[in-house]
């Protein structure tokens, strides 16, 4: 009777060895693709494994080898933001290409949860961790993870001034470009919409201020509205901006998501972005090309950012002693309808 697949008693290399008439060491060598075994024998082993429905037991192998697992932990703080979804896709692609599997966790800006998933990844012997840190993460975290012996790449948000592997974007330069673009179009009163306090907001705000300063425009605090970097945040702050006694006709947003919300608010007031009001986003998520109207924004290629983060992490796993690496996406203005 043919052996049907019974999950009850998984096949081990011992059975494969018996079937192929070799010792289990030989089977092990073949499975690892060692060149030490005669091709004829190797084929017989592979045949036996196939026939018996053998499944490689990673845990046993890793335990014996005392090696890290082939998983990489990825911690994202806000998956609902398409920017992070795009980063994630880029990251994942590179990781599976390199033979890794992704352990994914979503922290939703919850520091306690972040601690927990970090611990879990440690227990899983993750080969590396890509972390987009929750707001409020202590700068010492990079050292902590290092002390665990796990390579780490920090993404998007910086973590203090220490030196660590990092993939992000030049936020200040990007927003400065966007702001300058509006200034060049003749605007003097330019709003800034959205963004939670944190390193990224600081950097982007700095770019905003730099552009104004260079143009000799005084900073007007009443024009900057912090808010959650969400559609809702952009929507509310745009309405607040439009309600200002002295009219404003231009704004740069913390990110595209906020800009989409702002577009919605503009529409609600019967205003059309690009003609009645000029608006700049930041990120250039896929959606920006097909919003209503299409969004002018600062392109930092989210997907490539994820790929670069993966490349840095992979290189670090390869060589733990190499110098720290940084990738800072070079911001590029992409002009569409809105601005």
Partner DNA sequence: CTGAAAGCGCTTACAG
What is the residue whose two structure tokens read 């143009």?
A: 215
Q: Which is nearer to DNA, 17 or 298 (CB)?
A: 17
∠ CA 27-58-319, rounded to 5°: 105
Whole-angstrom distance, CA of residue 153 vs CA of residue 283: 20
Tell me how far, at minimum, the Cβ of 19 lies from DNA, in Å: 12
Tell me how far, at minimum, the Cβ of 98 lies from DNA, in Å: 19
Tell me how far, at minimum, the Cβ of 260 lies from a second copy, in Å: 6
- Of residues 20-59, which lie at the interface with a second copy (CB under 8 A)? 55-59
What is the residue whose two structure tokens read 């096949």?
A: 11
Q: Which is nearer to DNA, 41 or 196 (CB)?
A: 41
Q: How many residues bind a second copy (CB under 8 A)?
A: 63
Q: Which stretch binds a second copy (CB under 8 A): 42-50, 72-80, 172-180, 185-193?
A: 72-80
Residue 321 touches which of DNA, a second copy, none (CB < 5 to 8 A by kind)? Answer: none
Residue 96 touches which of DNA, a second copy, none (CB < 5 to 8 A by kind)? Answer: a second copy
Burial class (CB in 10 A: 0-12, 13-18, 19+), 288: buried
- Of residues 42-71, which lie at the interface with DNA (CB under 7 A)? 54-57, 60-61, 63-66
Q: Which is nearer to a second copy, 91 or 190 (CB)?
A: 91
- Spatial CA neighbour of 70 closest among 105, 88, 97, 90: 97
Residue choice 123, 221, 243, 319 for contact with a second copy (CB under 8 A):
123
Tell me how far, at minimum, the Cβ of 40 lies from DNA, in Å: 8
The verdict on 18 binding DNA (CB under 7 A) reads no
What is the residue whose two structure tokens read 């709003």?
A: 191
Strand order in the sheet with 250-253: 224-225, 191-193, 250-253, 278-280
Q: Where are the beta strands (DSSP E) in 162-314?
A: 166-169, 191-193, 224-225, 250-253, 278-280, 297-299
> In a 3-state reduction of DSSP, which class is residue 283?
strand
Tell me how far, at minimum, the Cβ of 24 lies from DNA, in Å: 5
Q: Are 153 and 128 in contact (CB under 8 A)?
A: yes
- Looking at the chain, the number of H-run helices and the number of E-run strands are 12, 12
Distances (CA, A) of 303 to 32, 94, 193, 235, 333: 33, 11, 24, 26, 17
Local structure of residue 273 (DSSP, 8 states): B
Q: Which parts of this chain interact with a second copy (CB under 8 A)? A: 5, 7-8, 55-60, 62-63, 69, 71, 74, 79-80, 82, 85-86, 88-89, 92-93, 96, 101-106, 108, 113, 116-117, 120-125, 147-150, 231-232, 234-235, 260-261, 263-264, 266-268, 286-287, 289-294
Q: Which parts of this chain interact with DNA (CB under 7 A)? A: 10, 12-14, 21-26, 28-29, 31-32, 35-38, 41, 54-57, 60-61, 63-66
């Amino acid at each position: 009777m043919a052996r049907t697949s019974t999950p009850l008693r998984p096949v081990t290399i011992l059975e494969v060895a018996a079937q192929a008439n070799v010792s289990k060491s030989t089977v092990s060598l073949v499975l690892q693709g060692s060149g030490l075994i005669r091709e004829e024998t190797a084929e017989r082993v592979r045949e036996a494994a196939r026939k018996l429905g053998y499944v490689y037991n990673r845990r046993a192998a890793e335990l014996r080898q005392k090696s890290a697992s082939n998983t990489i932990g990825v911690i994202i703080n806000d998956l609902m933001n398409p920017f992070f979804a795009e980063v994630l896709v880029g990251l994942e692609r590179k990781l599976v290409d390199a033979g890794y599997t992704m352990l994914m966790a979503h922290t939703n800006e919850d520091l306690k949860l972040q601690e927990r998933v970090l611990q879990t990844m440690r227990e899983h012997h993750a080969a590396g961790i890509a972390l987009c840190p929750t707001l409020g993460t202590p700068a010492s975290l990079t050292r902590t993870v290092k002390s665990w012996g796990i390579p780490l790449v920090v993404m998007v948000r910086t973590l203090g001034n220490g030196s660590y592997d990092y993939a992000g974007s030049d936020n200040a330069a990007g927003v400065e470009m966007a702001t300058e673009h509006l200034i060049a179009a003749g605007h003097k009163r330019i709003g800034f919409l959205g963004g939670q306090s944190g390193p990224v907001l600081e950097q982007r705000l700095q770019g905003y201020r730099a552009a104004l300063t260079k143009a000799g425009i005084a900073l007007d605090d009443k024009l900057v509205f912090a808010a959650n970097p969400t559609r809702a945040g952009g929507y509310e702050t745009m309405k607040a901006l439009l309600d200002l006694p002295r009219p404003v006709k231009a704004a740069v947003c913390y990110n595209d998501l906020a800009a989409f919300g702002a577009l919605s608010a503009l529409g609600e007031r019967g205003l059309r972005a690009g003609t009645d009001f000029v608006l700049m986003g930041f990120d250039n998520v896929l959606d920006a090309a097909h919003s209503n109207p299409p969004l002018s924004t600062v392109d930092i290629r989210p997907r490539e950012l994820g790929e670069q983060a993966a490349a840095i992490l992979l290189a670090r796993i390869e060589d733990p002693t190499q110098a720290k690496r940084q990738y800072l996406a070079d911001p590029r203005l992409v002009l569409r309808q809105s601005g």
